[in-house]
Chain A
Amino acid sequence: MSEDAILSLNSLVIGYDQPLVKPITLDVHEGEIIAILGPSGIGKTTLIRTIAGLVRPLDGDFDLRVKRSGGLGYIPQRLGLVRHATVAHNVSLGARLSVGWSRTMFKDRKERTFEAIRTLGIEEKASEPVRRLSGGQQRRVATARTLAQRPRLMLADEFLGELDQTNVDIVLSAVHELVEEGTAVIMVEHHEDNAKDFATRIWLIKDNHLHDYSLEEWLDIDESSWREQHLGEEE
Chain B
Amino acid sequence: MKYRLFGIVFILFFLAWQTLDGLVEGDWGRLEGGLSNLVVFFEESMWPPNWKVLEARSYPVCEQDIEFFCSVGYLGMMETLKIAFVSTILGFVGAISLSSLAARNLMPLYISLPVRIFLSAVRSLPSLIWAILFVIVIGFGPLSGVLAMTFYTVGYLGKLQYEVFEGMPNDPLEAGRAMGLSRSSIVFNIVIPENSNHLLSQIMFMFEYNVRHGTVIGIVGAGGIGYYINTYLKFLQYDKVFALLILIFIVVVLIDLLSLAVRSFVNEEGDVRKPTWLNMLIQAQKRRSKSGDVA
Main secondary structure of the interface of A (DSSP, over half): loop
Contacts of B181 in A (CB 8 A): 69, 93, 96-97
**A8 interfacial by beta-carbon distance below 8 Å:** no
| B contact face: mostly helix, strand, loop, or mixed | helix
Of the listed residues A54, A77, A84, A89, the one surrounded by the most CB atoms of chain B closer than 10 A to its CB is A84
* A-B CB contacts (within 8 Å), total count: 77
Contact with A along B150-190 (1 / 0, CB 8 A): 00000000000000000001011111111111100100011
Q: Is the CB of A80 within 8 A of B172?
A: yes
Enumerate chain B residues within 8 angstroms of A97, measured Cβ to Cβ: 179-181
User: Does B271 lie at the interface of the complex (its beta carbon under 8 Å from any beta carbon of A)?
Assistant: yes
What A residues does B193 contact at CB under 8 A? 82, 84-85, 89
Residues of B within 8 A of A71 (CB): 180
Q: Are A84 and B196 in contact (CB under 8 A)?
A: yes
Q: Which residues of B contact A76 (CB under 8 A)?
A: 171, 174-175
Mask of A96-139 contacts with B, CB within 8 angstroms, 1/0: 11000000000000000000000000000000000110000000
CA A70 to CA B178, docked complex, whole Å: 9
Output the nearest chain B residue to A83 by Cβ-Cβ distance. Answer: B194
Report chain A residues within 8 Å CB of B175.
74-76, 79-81
Are B178 and A74 in contact (CB-based, < 8 A)?
A: yes
Total chain B interface residues with beta-carbon distance under 8 A: 24
Tell me if B266 counts as interface (CB < 8 A to partner A).
yes
CB distance from B167 to the nearest CB of A (A): 14
In whole Å, how far is B242's beta carbon from the nearest beta carbon of chain A?
Answer: 43
Smallest CB gap from A89: residue in B: B193
Name the residue of chain B whose CB is nearest to the CB of A131: B268
A78–B169 Cα gap in the complex (Å)?
10
1/0 per position for B55-67, CB-CB distance to A under 8 A? 0000000000000
Structural contact, B178 and A52, CB atoms closer than 8 A: yes
With a cutoff of 8 Å between Cβ atoms, the chain B residues found around residue A215 in the complex are none
Known contacts A97-B180, A149-B179, A84 near B266 by CB under 8 Å: yes
- The reply to whether the CB of A41 lies closer than 8 angstroms to some CB of chain B is no
Say whether B230 faces chain A, with CB atoms less than 8 Å apart.
no
25 A-B pairs (CB sep. < 8 Å): A49-B174, A54-B177, A67-B180, A70-B179, A72-B178, A74-B179, A75-B175, A80-B171, A80-B172, A80-B174, A80-B175, A80-B176, A82-B193, A83-B194, A84-B194, A84-B197, A84-B266, A89-B189, A93-B190, A94-B179, A96-B185, A97-B180, A131-B268, A132-B271, A149-B179
Give residues in A with beta carbon < 8 Å to B.
Answer: 49, 52-54, 67-85, 89, 93-94, 96-97, 131-132, 149, 151, 155
Known pairs A72-B179, A82-B189, A97-B180; list 14 more (Cβ under 8 Å): A54-B178, A73-B179, A74-B175, A74-B179, A80-B171, A80-B172, A80-B174, A80-B176, A82-B172, A82-B190, A83-B194, A85-B193, A93-B181, A132-B271
